[in-house]
Amino acid sequence: MSRVKIGVLVSGGGTNLQAIIDAIDNNNINAEIAVVISNKFGVYSLERAKKHSIESLVIDSKKYNNIYQYNEDILHEMKERGVELVVLAGYLKILTPNFIKEYKNRIINIHPSLIPSFCGGGYYGENVHKAVLKKGVKLTGATVHFVDEGTDTGPIVLQECVKISDHETLESLKKKVLKIEHKILVDAVKLYCQGKLSVKENKVYIEK
């Protein structure tokens, strides 16, 4: 079975990117990362790619007045490299409908809560964990989902819970959830590369 070509979009430090790189290096995922694309310079994700001899690009979103042209340029780079699966690893920009249509059910995102709780507009990064702590819920977690035209509304691939202690802090909760993120993102990418995921009526089915 040929290796699946992955394109990864990043905006920050890239610990989720590193989890995928490590899983590929350990032969846990039958894939290769064809390109890592960042929307800005100076993020550590680019260094992670460089250390593993993975091609990386910066397509600076600040240089674009048109989000559609920005996305078209990213799409062009993905298609030039034969990318089959797009992974959003801490990517904080919006994908346009044309981009999503081109890679329908082939764009995977990781979100730091149990969707449909604490998701949608404004819920990203620390904002999610702050809202979780403020609400006082007893469980949170992470969700891997396919991306559609909405915000965090695409078909759910995998979810996993973590318990929230009575003395939880923002930092301790971030660490707990990030550990889960790394695990289920790798699992989801692996399942996709094995051809074990299918989507019917907005529900993901996993072949046993």
Which residues are the active-site residues? 111
- Of the candidates 124, 104, 120, 99, the one whose C-alpha atom is nearest the C-alpha of residue 181 is 124
Q: Which amino acid is residue 7, in one-letter code?
A: G
